[in-house]
Chain A
Amino acid sequence: MYGDLALQLVTASHRSTLSTTPQLPLPKYALPLILSICLETRQLGQSITSAAETHGQVSLSQDRSLVCNLTVQHLAARRNKRCLLAYLQTRIGGMKERYWDAGGGLAYLLTQPSKQNVNPDADAPDLRSALSPQELDFLRGYNSLMLDYKSDFLDVLDLTASIDKPPGELMVDVRVLKDAGEVVLEGGERIEFRKGERFRLARSGVERLIIQGFLEEV
């Protein structure tokens, strides 16, 4: 029936919290479903146009079954569009949330492997393969927008740093989880991060490394 596929798409996306919970892997872009919905909508559109053309203006005001038929098809087409956009919008929300959680690190976000133990039969190994090419373009565009916007503030503060909780302490104890090589911190000090070592550093300087999983707070 008209709209069945769209309903399937929307309920799936609505029921699943995967796309809006940043800790879980984003479900793969439902390309086959979307294509068939687009096809259905195009067919509906064609059938509406041809019906209106063959019957003409006169019968449209008299033939009630034709009017009814056209109305149903019209509504189904509109509904399909709405469902498609709702699906995309939900995913955009999820993508942006993940983007902010990763502290605006796009390259890191895209290559980070999703946690296998959460969902063993996840159909996408990392975020990049879960996105459609268009979504990837969107995320890149969004990234450059954000870079532009935050460049105004960058000499004083980093806009993409975490706002989960107000900072309480200046310093933070960290343990190195992955080799990060030599890193130059804000004050100009250079530190060689090797796995297993512990440091006490200014939080603002190493926050990004904590988010990206190089360091762990002790």
Chain B
Amino acid sequence: MSFFDDDDDDPLSPCSHRTGEASSSRQREPSLTSNTSFMDRLRSTSTVSSPPPLGQGQGQVHGHGRRRNEEDDIDRSRASASIFDESSISGYGYSGLDESINGERGIDDERMEGSELGLDVDLDLDLDMEELDDVKKLGKIWTRERGTVELGNWEGDLIDGIFDKLEQQQKMVNTLRSDPQTSEEEHFKLMLVQTEMERVKYLVRSYVRTRLHKIEKFTYHITLTPEIHHLLSGAELSHAKRYTELLHTHFQHSVLDSLPVWLRKMDDAYGDGLSMVTKPNRNVPVLIYCRKDCGEITLEGGERAALARGTTHLVKFKLVDRWISLGWAEVL
């Protein structure tokens, strides 16, 4: 689950102490108006002349978005509250889901039957990928990338968007930090914003490096199969090609050149049918959560299993890969 779900009560969760920080900062600010003006100032330093859309603001200042959530809980009459409300609901939905999964995590070797899901999860089901903000989306694709054996699609637009926002946010933070009018309390809030930025950067870094690891592991497979080239970004593809060359040169110089000519190939198959080209093992199980009704799948033993909406299963990757790529099923 994305660790940006700040409503998660799990004490092991890395953000639990951050939630504590946030709530302590709320106690420190007596009036609601001071915070609002701070938000306005943060936005007014933006280079965009027109007021940025709320969703964008939330993506940029995730920490602030959260504090806004908590205040919106207090003061629901505010007109601008709608979008933050939605995300706060989704946050609660996820924490509910987490608990129900943890309860059910007795893992069957072939498949795990879905859990009884509470009412709050239904709210989450109706929330599509498009309605989530960028950071939540990033959390999801990051979990998917780490949870599956095959390379997922490169989310270039999302990463670019996040980079733009990080850059803008950095500018705002710099401006406000050098502004003598910024009060002590606002400096504290700026620190929270910066920490949040570091955490987003961590996610991007981990995402990119997970992909690099997979690319290097299956580098021959990737370079030899043009059909999957569309999954990679341009830089990743050229990295894969150059890495293959590098590896090949290394093997060639180290041993292959001193072997008989007929043993110098790198894409042979052995007598037992084992190929030298490593491919992703599609039999590895994945833990998925069905966002939509995915129909029935046939298991190895000929048994059939229904992937109903809102259930959780542990199945072999090759059986559910199309649902995962469609986004109907979510990797946990």
Residues of A within 8 A of B18 (CB): 168
User: Which of A38-82 touch B at CB < 8 Å?
Assistant: 38-39, 41-42, 44-46, 75, 77-78, 80-82
User: Which of A73-97 touch B at CB < 8 Å?
Assistant: 75, 77-78, 80-82, 84-85, 88, 92, 96
Contact, CB under 8 Å: A81 / B206: no
Residues of B within 8 A of A80 (CB): 259
Contact, CB under 8 Å: A145 / B246: yes
Residues of A within 8 A of B140 (CB): none
Chain B window 204-243, contacts with chain A (Cβ cutoff 8 Å), 1 for yes, 0 for no: 1110110010001000000000000000000110010011
Contact, CB under 8 Å: A138 / B260: no
Partner of B198, one of A46, A82, A100, A203: A203
B34 is an interface residue with CB less than 8 A from chain A: no
CB-nearest residue of chain A to B18: A168
B247 is an interface residue with CB less than 8 A from chain A: yes
Shortest Cβ gap from A89 to chain B (Å) = 9
Contacts between chains A and B (CB distance < 8 A), count: 116
Contact, CB under 8 Å: A92 / B209: no
Contact, CB under 8 Å: B206 / A38: no
Chain A window 174-196, contacts with chain B (Cβ cutoff 8 Å), 1 for yes, 0 for no: 00000000000000000000000
CB-nearest residue of chain B to A37: B255
Contact, CB under 8 Å: B195 / A157: no
Contact, CB under 8 Å: B270 / A82: yes
A-side interface residues, number (CB < 8 Å)? 48
B282 is an interface residue with CB less than 8 A from chain A: no
A204 is an interface residue with CB less than 8 A from chain B: yes
Chain A window 9-42, contacts with chain B (Cβ cutoff 8 Å), 1 for yes, 0 for no: 0000000000000000000000000110011011
| Cα–Cα, bound, A204→B195 (Å) | 10
Contact, CB under 8 Å: B250 / A85: no
Chain B window 247-283, contacts with chain A (Cβ cutoff 8 Å), 1 for yes, 0 for no: 1011101111011101100000011000010000000
Contact, CB under 8 Å: B250 / A156: no
Contact, CB under 8 Å: A41 / B259: yes
Contact, CB under 8 Å: B253 / A88: no
Q: A88-B250, A88-B251, A166-B14 are in contact. Are A78 and B209 (CB under 8 A)?
A: no
| Cα–Cα, bound, A68→B279 (Å) | 33
Contact, CB under 8 Å: A132 / B3: no
| Cα–Cα, bound, A55→B17 (Å) | 79
Contact, CB under 8 Å: B255 / A152: no
Contact, CB under 8 Å: B201 / A156: yes
CB-nearest residue of chain A to B207: A163
Contact, CB under 8 Å: A159 / B260: no
CB-nearest residue of chain B to A45: B260
B194 is an interface residue with CB less than 8 A from chain A: yes
A126 is an interface residue with CB less than 8 A from chain B: no
Partner of A137, one of B166, B216, B253, B260: B253
B167 is an interface residue with CB less than 8 A from chain A: yes
| Cα–Cα, bound, A152→B258 (Å) | 39
CB-nearest residue of chain A to B212: A149
Contact, CB under 8 Å: A159 / B209: yes
Contact, CB under 8 Å: B250 / A41: no
Shortest Cβ gap from A108 to chain B (Å) = 19
Residues of A within 8 A of B199 (CB): 166-167
Shortest Cβ gap from B295 to chain A (Å) = 37
Contact, CB under 8 Å: B259 / A78: no
Contact, CB under 8 Å: B198 / A204: yes
Contact, CB under 8 Å: B208 / A159: yes
Residues of A within 8 A of B203 (CB): 166
Contact, CB under 8 Å: B246 / A157: no
CB-nearest residue of chain B to A150: B208
A135 is an interface residue with CB less than 8 A from chain B: yes
Partner of B195, one of A35, A153, A170: A170
User: Could you show 25 A-B contacts with beta carbons less than 8 Å apart?
Assistant: A34-B254, A38-B255, A41-B259, A41-B260, A41-B263, A45-B262, A77-B263, A81-B255, A81-B259, A81-B263, A82-B270, A88-B251, A92-B250, A100-B209, A132-B254, A134-B254, A138-B246, A142-B246, A149-B239, A153-B208, A156-B201, A166-B3, A166-B14, A168-B17, A170-B195
Excluding A135-B250, A145-B243, 18 further A-B contacts by CB distance (< 8 Å) are: A34-B254, A34-B255, A38-B258, A77-B260, A84-B254, A85-B276, A88-B250, A132-B254, A137-B253, A138-B247, A142-B243, A142-B246, A148-B239, A149-B235, A155-B167, A166-B14, A168-B17, A170-B195
Which residue numbers of B lie inside 8 Å of A, CB to CB? 3, 14, 17-18, 163, 166-167, 191, 194-195, 198-199, 201-206, 208-209, 212, 216, 235-236, 239, 242-243, 246-247, 249-251, 253-256, 258-260, 262-263, 270-271, 276
Which residue numbers of A lie inside 8 Å of B, CB to CB? 34-35, 38-39, 41-42, 44-46, 75, 77-78, 80-82, 84-85, 88, 92, 96, 100, 132, 134-135, 137-138, 141-142, 145, 148-149, 152-153, 155-159, 161, 163, 165-170, 203-204
